[in-house]
Structure 1
């Protein structure tokens, strides 16, 4: 069967898996404030069951938190399972299984008759998102050349932003439909990208490192030739990469036990801590919370109805276009710089929002703004515009920094023998915190109001300090070079981007027998000799 060899073509298809998560975020965000949704799943005096009363209060804060959190709850389970599926069946097959599960969950969600059925469908959707979000970065990172790895793995985040934007406008358009069809249609349409991804993966090669791990060396060489050699099996870069993979696999088989226990051994524990906290911190920035509940935030700022939805959509547009900077420059910027700078900027906007709301806002009337209990704080006039502006600036700070880097970084940290399992664990940590925050935020807006922003501001400050002192630079290094860097024990703040050297080696200008390793400015440890 014909296979696509261009790395950008491979990436364009593979990262549709990330778009599935984006579809969920924005469909929920756009649907939450609509009378069609709130009346059908109403728990107030006019429900349950659909009616045309615009004052339907909808699910309670705790129940709505549970509905929203059911998807990341499923994603936590799916991410944990994905490592086994990926290592056993292959990177492509694992993602295809996720596509099938997504379609099943979407059918249940769009056919929901009650809150229980909605939660069950979203949990199943979450299983699919967990699998795809964990294994798509692994798959793409194992195919990409070092000088483009950040760009193509970061495309996962760009796909998420496009999924958010497209589904938001679909959901917004459907708000003009009366009755439950207004939310059934967008939740049914979200099956289409999963179907496209399932069949599109048939045109893509398997990961060469997974093939090598299973002793399929001829297929591994063929994939490297297809993707990196432009049809020439003897291209210098292909030969070098094949030798690097062979050497690393031989070393692993002589010296390592390939089990989950290895992740918790002293030599691997630091890497696991970095990968896990990269994903945890990406949630504690508050970005996904802002995406899910942006209509609540803007409702507090005095926006309602279509004006609220349109204003909310602007941040999704900002998210898409600001991510482009990361796709172009992330391999030159590296990983550490964007993580530290992004965290400090986001902390600034969070503290600003807290100060503005505390100074110029006041408690909303009983029942909340526009009869939505979660909108329990109210601010109007110029201060309200300042809150909206700070929210947009927060998104603009997240999009080129923590957004893409949180997906790029974890797959780069681990050796081949544990990469699938390790990234499954790190991604699961993302989803369990997503679950907790999704459940926490609606009642938090009710109970502590503007102080929610202070909490996330403190988190952003802490992650800036943590990433500066403990997160090493991986940009511009081969996956095998990164393994050497950790074994050599180089302090995080002394690591640098090695972009120019990798570009030189990829172009066929090889210096000596070490190949890629010549770009790593550390001494070899005895274990790697």
Structure 2
């Protein structure tokens, strides 16, 4: 015990925040790695005309993540955040390696890889839910606001890292290229596992288990002021008591009662729109998009994912700079409008000028990614973290996360099927219309949360419910 305590005392807050962020790198790496692996995998397994199988191979991770996040949330309340992050890292390592050693059995290979990637998705969903939760419980209150932006930066940095790895491996023989791309995803998982081994458990979880002395000890490693530690312990106890009372009084039906319906629809709707707007179609399929536009082999277009990755990283840094300078609704509506036009204009230009340069669509996609990176990408999770009242926060956040993963899975699944049956410009125009609908949704259904306390936001929902009840025709 003394040895463990001494080891924990050496851990700096910077170390804790780094490995909280590193979970985002792991998550982002797996989002991006299939972008480069897919062209080689298609050629090796002769899947060029198997759009549905390509869609399932790509989206299987997101399908597993739908369940991974919900399952990990429940298990972490029983076993602790730290232990579940370690378990997620192990699962991630195992199934990343199994993806890389997929047997060559003809069409059966595709089904093997789909199943393995679904199981890998359990770890992806768990990590995406657990790591931010652990970080928010370890960080001081004054730093929690910046963590949303930092986590997004690390996710897109993981994506960029995977794009660079894909580019460096592209000249290997086809089979070795995609196998190493997928298998090397185990490396960031191993780093995460080794880092989290040194981390203490969350003080919030320790208090829930009645281990107040250990919770105080953990806080002493990351808080300098004893008075601050006492104040935080008291605050955690009070919040835990309120959450316990709230959970006893609420059920799933409570989410859609008059008092909460407005805020639940707003938060879940934004989370769903973020994915149905089509961002993942670009992130997963940009080499194939360029191939269809120009006729060049997808495997020779792996510089484009790096371009997208750089735009995402720069955009996430722009967001951290402007986050507290503009209203959430303003950024979402401006971003959504530009994103929608970036998808719709290529179809209009192609209709008016049939001989349009095929790279025009790629230029507009870069504009889309730029505006997505500092508006909808980070703001969705900032807003979801702010908008739900305490009484329903756990269930509502889980519902929002599930809808987000469902959207991610469906876009990854249907995009290759859609592009196999209609022009790319038409497919992106459909996503553009969804972007515009998202702007309308934010305008009508989403309250402003910047600068408001959680209590003030809850009051907006309560007042909105009263207005609806007294004016049912509205």
Give the TM-score, by structure 1 length. Answer: 0.77
1:29–1:193 CA distance, 2 compared to 1 (3 A): same
Structure 2 gap segments, 5+ residues each:
1-6, 104-108, 465-474
Q: Name 2:236's counterpart in structure 1.
A: 245
Deviation at 1:471, TM superposition (A): 2.8
Asked if residue 261 in structure 1 is aligned to residue 252 in structure 2, the reply is yes
State the match for 2:288 in structure 1.
296
Q: Which of 427, 431, 437 is 1:456 aligned to?
A: 431
Give me the whole-angstrom Cα distance separating, in 1, the residues matched to 2:374 and 2:155.
13
CA distance in 1: counterparts of 2:450 and 2:199, whole angstroms: 25
1:276 aligned to 257, 268, 281, which one? 268
Kept in 2: contact 1:108–1:117 (CA 8 A): no
1:397 aligns with 2:389: no
1:41 corresponds to: 45
- What is aligned with 1:366? none
CA deviation string 1:171-205 (max 9, x = no partner) = 22222111411111121111011111122123334
2:338–2:368: 8 Å Cα contact kept in structure 1?
yes
Give the corresponding residue for 1:352.
345
After TM superposition, the structure 1 stretch with the greater mean CA deviation from structure 2, 110-119 or 3-12, is 3-12
Residues 388, 443 of structure 1: alpha-carbon distance in 2 compared, 3 angstrom cutoff? same
Is residue 87 from structure 1 mapped to residue 77 from structure 2 by the alignment? yes
Measure how far apart 1:435 and its partner are: 1.3
Shift of residue 348, structure 1, vs aligned partner: 2.0
RMSD of aligned residue pairs (Cα, Å): 2.8
SS of equivalent to 2:302: helix
Q: 1:152 to 1:254 in 2, by over 3 A?
A: closer
- SS at the partner of 1:206? coil
Residue 65 of structure 1 contacts residue 440 of structure 1 at CA under 8 Å; is this kept in 2?
A: yes
User: Partner residue of 1:49?
Assistant: none
Q: CA deviation at 1:346?
A: 0.9
Alignment equivalent of 1:190, drawn from 167, 181, 185: 185
Answering whether residue 98 of structure 2 is matched by residue 108 of structure 1, we say yes
Shift of residue 22 of structure 1?
2.2
Match of residue 164, structure 1, among 148, 155, 159: 159
Is residue 2:71 matched to residue 1:65? no
Q: Residues 417 and 12 (structure 1 numbering): CA distance in 2 closer, same or farther, change over 3 Å?
A: farther
Aligned match of 2:458: 486
User: Which of 37, 44, 63 is equivalent to 1:31?
Assistant: 37
Matched, 1:21 2:27: yes
Whether contact under 8 Å (2:343, 2:429) holds in the other structure is yes
Q: Is the 8 A contact 1:137 1:156 kept in 2?
A: yes
d(CA) in 1 for partners of 2:300, 2:350: 20
Decide whether the 8 Å contact of 2:252 with 2:395 is kept in 1.
Answer: no
CA shift digits 1:88-132 (9 cap, x unpaired): 222222222211111121122111121121111111111111111
Query: SS of the residue aligned with 1:203?
Result: coil
SS at 1:33 equivalent: helix
Give 1:64 deviation, angstroms.
Answer: 0.8
User: 1:16/1:262 Cα in 2 relative to 1: closer, same or farther (>3 Å)?
Assistant: farther
Distance 1:168 1:401 in 2: 22
Q: Does 1:2 align with 2:4?
A: no
Distance 2:438 2:137 in 1: 28
Corresponding position of 1:338: 331
Taking the aligned partners of 1:169 and 1:111, their CA distance within structure 2 comes to 21
Distance across 2 between alignment mates of 1:159 and 1:89? 26
Q: Shift of the alpha carbon at 1:280?
A: 0.9
User: What is the CA distance between 1:296 and its match in structure 2?
Assistant: 2.2
- Corresponding residue of 2:467: none
Is residue 312 from structure 1 mapped to residue 305 from structure 2 by the alignment? yes
Q: Deviations over 1:415-460 (max 9, x none)?
A: 6676555433322211111111111111111223222122211211
Kindly tell me: are residues 485 and 211 of structure 1, through their superposed partners in 2, closer, same or farther at Cα, counting changes over 3 Å?
A: farther
Between structures 1 and 2, the one with greater helix share: 2
Is residue 141 of structure 1 aligned with residue 127 of structure 2? Answer: no
> Is the contact between residue 3 and residue 205 of structure 1 (CA under 8 Å) also seen in structure 2?
no
Distance 1:22 1:196 in 2: 14
1:23-72 Cα offsets, whole Å, 9 max, x none, are 233221112223xx2232115xxxxxxxxxxxxxx351111111112111
Report the counterpart of residue 411 of structure 1 in structure 2: 385
Comparing 59-68 with 251-260, which one deviates more in the overlay?
251-260
TM-score by length of 2: 0.85
Distance 2:96 2:246 in 1: 45
Correspondence for 2:4: none
> Size of the alignment, in residue pairs?
450
Q: 1:251 to 1:127 in 2, by over 3 A?
A: closer
Cα contact 2:286–2:304 (8 A) shared by 1: no
Partner-residue secondary structure (3-state), 2:102: coil
